[in-house]
Amino acid sequence: MNIVVCVKQVPDTEAPIRIRPDGSGIDESGLNLVMNYYDEHATEAGLRLKEQFGGSVTLIGVGPERTKEALRTGLAMGADEAILVSDVALLGSDHLGTARVLAAAIKTLPHDLIICGKLSTDDNAAIVGPALAELLGLPQATAIAQLEVDTSGGTVVVHREVEGGVEVLEVPLPALLTVERSLNEPRYPSLPGIMKAKRKEIKTMSLADLGVEVPSVGATAAKSALTRLVPPPKRQAGRMIEEDAEKAVAEIVAFLKNEAKVL
């Protein structure tokens, strides 16, 4: 089974995010960048399928040169190959642009299954996976929490956690899946894995290599633009009411009515 996993490099979720003073983005200096956690689960899903059915796992990322570090993590987990599409013309590209680039790259690869994280923890958009499926004309199932392959029928059966229950879908291959974190527990890269990954070459491709026209993916093609990024408002300190029950209740009700205006 030929599996392609899409990988994005994002700031470590534990790192405090500092927004650039002009609101144009986040300040990346000194920020620890890692593979998007959902993509770790996507990689794990791919590796398990490969272990079960054979084939290969190819990682693909779009971003600056440093994205190779995230791809290297996936190689160290056990992926066979990695490709980075990197091009200055991609600056200012929106999610759809990224999906177009991925689609162009994936078209050049044999693929039975494409696996993406449900979303990336930096911008939480959850757009690239579904857009990519559309562009490739593939069936898709998003946010899956369970995955089984029916080799006889050439389909996958997936579970999606929906309000009040579980939705079970059968999807014909080739297909695109986006995964939930509850799908699996990603493995740690092993020391031999890390050393093996070190020797693997990460293929870097430009838009020209893929035959993608710059105007279709860069800032000019973007259907949405970032206006500005603002930090969440500072949380106000709580107020303690230290009265006996009767008085306290009255005060809280008054607060809910007059200040919070929820009653």
Partner 1 sequence: MDAKEVSAPVAGGSFLISETAPGEVFTPEDLNEEQRLVGQTVRDFVEREIVPNLDRLEEKDWTLTRDLLRKLGELGFLGINVPAAYGGAELDQVTSLVVAEELSLGGFSVSYGTHIGIGIGPIAYFGTEAQKRKYLPKMVKGELIGAYALTEPTAGSDAMGIRTRAVLSPDRTHYLLSGTKQFISNAAFADVFNVFAKVDGDKHTCFIVERATAGFTVGDEEHKMGIRSSSTASLFLENAKVPVENVLGEIGQGHKVAFNILNVGRFKLAAGCVGAATHVIREAIGYAKERQQFGKPLAEFGLIKHKLAEMAIRTYVAESMVFRTGGLVEGTLQGLHGDPAESMRALEEYAVECAINKVYGSEVLGFAVDENVQIYGGYGFMEEYPAARAYRDARINRLFEGTNEINRLLTTGMLLRRAQRGRLDLIPAAMAVAREITEPSLSEPVDGPLAEERRLVNMVKKAALFTAGVAVQKYLDQIEHEQEVLAGIADLVIEAFAMESGLLRALRALQRDGAERAAIKIAMIRTYINDAIPRIDATARTVLAAVEEGDTLRTELAGLRRFLRYTPINTVAIRRKIADQLIAHGRYAN
Binding site residues, partner 1, CB under 8 A: 14-16, 18, 29-30, 34, 68-69, 72-73, 76, 188-195, 197-198, 237
CB of 188 to partner 1, least distance (A): 5
Reply yes or no: is the peptide bond before residue 174 cis, omega within 30 of 0. yes
CB of 78 to partner 1, least distance (A): 12
Does an H or E element contain 170, and which? Answer: strand 165-172
CB of 56 to partner 1, least distance (A): 22
SS3 252: helix
- Indicate left, alpha or beta for 259 from its phi (over 0: left) and psi (-120 to 50: alpha): alpha
Q: Smaller CB distance to partner 1: residue 27 or 148?
A: 27
CB of 225 to partner 1, least distance (A): 28
Q: Smaller CB distance to partner 1: residue 26 or 194?
A: 194
> In angstroms, rounded to a whole number, what is the distance separating the alpha carbons of residues 174 and 1?
10
Instruction: Centre a 10 Å sphere on the Cβ of residue 207 and count the other Cβ atoms it contains.
Output: 20
Does an H or E element contain 42, and which? Answer: helix 37-53
Q: Smaller CB distance to partner 1: residue 22 or 244?
A: 22
CB of 237 to partner 1, least distance (A): 7
CB of 132 to partner 1, least distance (A): 27
Closest by Cα among 186, 141, 193, 198 to 167 = 141
Q: Smaller CB distance to partner 1: residue 68 or 159?
A: 68
Q: Smaller CB distance to partner 1: residue 50 or 68?
A: 68
Q: Smaller CB distance to partner 1: residue 170 or 185?
A: 185
Residues contacting residue 17 through CB under 8 Å, at least 6 positions apart: 11, 26, 31, 231
